[in-house]
Chain A
Amino acid sequence: MPDEPKRPELTLDELRARIAAAGITIPENRLNMVRKLLGEALAPLRSLDSRKIRPLEPAVTFDAAGPHVGVGHE
């Protein structure tokens, strides 16, 4: 499949839509700071092919031989 164009940076409109969906309030004079923060954090994700990065597996691990805490089976 040919390379698709990179997704654009987080826009203020997209940020406002996310804020409305989350049911929170962020003052107008902080929107740009939050847009920068999220934009920087999202940039590595948006530059990647999500089918190629590693899966989050195994979701459950256990050591049958030793003591363990949390999820597992005897």
Chain B
Amino acid sequence: MSDAIAFATIRELGARYRKRELSPVEVTRALLARIEKLDPALHAFVTLTPDRALADARAAEEALRRGDERPLLGVPVGHKDIYLTRGIRTTGGSALFADWVPDSESTVVRRWQDAGTVLLGKLITHEFAFGLQFPGHRFPPARNPWNLDHIPGGSSSGSGAALAAGLLHGATGSDTGGSIRGPAAFCGITGLKPTYGRVSRAGVMTLSWTLDHTGPMARTVEDCAYLLQAMAGHDAADPACSTRPVPDYVGALDGGVRGLRIGVPRNYFFDDADAENVRAFEDAVATLRKLGADVRDLKIPAFDLSRSFLLIVVAEAFAYHEQDLRRHPELYGEMLRERMLSGALVSGHEYVQAQRLRMQICADVAEVMKSIDVLATPTTPKPAPTFKMMYDPELAFPRTNMPPFNLTGQPTLALPCGLSASGLPLSLQLSGRAFEETTVLRLGHAYQRATDWHTRRPPV
């Protein structure tokens, strides 16, 4: 299969299907062959579903013949392996669920299926979607297609690696402290953490209730908009899910960015940042300015307090996993186990204080957002580290730029904005007001129309 098909956008794929230049079955067969060739080195997939994929592709082909116009018809996708799939193994990246086949499925899985997608398989996740992957556990970690010695980011590691390698055209991710945006940044793809409550989490394994978000991962902003359109919307099965109407995300992409007010918070996000990450970010900001955006520097001191998010994550993760951690500690990866157990060491008043602090951060940022449309920052302060660096037993939890927006719940997009001297992707983070996904997508789309970083391919 040509790279042109493996890396086609969702819009291009749909256009070629409808011109009968390509068929979903043909694309699905070609991608299954590509996965067979590349995935033994990447470990992006934990479970392949070729029979299901071909059945979905045939159904899509039939629907296309009837003139079905759904934009995701015949689009090959994969689900992060914390999304429950009926009749298909769902491991959570854990030995606890290594052979579990659910008899129900997540709302998002059902919605994408109803949209006509082709399910290629389940994508490896860091164990229980915690943001670190360690060796010696049940499943091998996914590797970064740009350099196999480097991590692809996580916890949606398989989603990031598979998209970067052209193994599928869309994937689900989840994001508690950056698990969509981190792999997007390190793998040179695009990922959106929607507003808290915009996309249902029903049927998705929990890490930390008050911080967990679900969202789309793809290679372009436009593809993310198509995928979000088919995910978003109220779901009574998720008590946090909003009843707000879902706007037309794809239709809003071309609105332009002239006059959009972009704030660059100069504190917190640049601490310990590599010079090349900062340089790529400044170039991206210059591009946005050239496109007509009104860019201004800011300081938001509340962000300096956002490391307290760790307290909420570990306390909530322990609350969720307590029974299993006490009964079957041996089934948790060694290093994850101790991080989750640390949640038992958080006192009641400390958890409450962390949530109070979070309310303070939300209020301070909301005040800033009254006069700013989008905040722009580097997604990560450094490019993808090596596995060796991550295996340092003294490493508690890497510092990144993403958790502040899990605390505030704002819609936040990560998209490629450069390459490091060593050839690793660098990323721009754009965060908007709650439920204003259309604004961050519009800005990201304008940036991708003006640049070609999202079209760069790894050497796989």
- Contact surface of A with B, Cβ cutoff 8 Å: 15, 18-19, 22-24, 26-27, 29-30, 32-34, 36-38, 40-45, 47-48, 50, 53-56, 66-67, 69-70
Contact = CB atoms under 8 A, between A and B. Distances in A.
28 contacts: A19-B345, A23-B344, A24-B326, A26-B341, A26-B342, A30-B338, A33-B396, A34-B341, A34-B342, A34-B345, A37-B396, A38-B314, A38-B346, A40-B310, A41-B311, A41-B314, A41-B354, A42-B308, A44-B305, A44-B306, A45-B350, A45-B353, A45-B357, A47-B305, A53-B356, A56-B355, A69-B236, A70-B239
A48 to B, nearest CB: 7
B360 A45 contact: no
A10 B305 CA distance: 17
Interface residues of B, number: 36
B21 interface: no
Interface of B: 236, 239, 243, 304-311, 314, 326, 335, 338-339, 341-342, 344-346, 350, 352-357, 359-360, 363, 393-397
Contact of B338 (A23, A33, A40): A33
Given A26-B338, A41-B310, 6 more contacts: A33-B335, A44-B304, A45-B308, A47-B305, A50-B353, A54-B356
Contacts of B310: 37, 40-41
A48 B239 CA distance: 32
B345 A18 contact: yes
A3 B442 CA distance: 47
Contacts of A23: 344
A38 B312 CA distance: 11
A30 B393 contact: yes
Contacts of B354: 41, 45
A32 B338 CA distance: 11
Main secondary structure of the interface of A (DSSP, over half): helix
A67 B236 CA distance: 10
A73 B339 CA distance: 39
B325 to A, nearest CB: 8
A48 B357 CA distance: 9
A69 B125 CA distance: 31
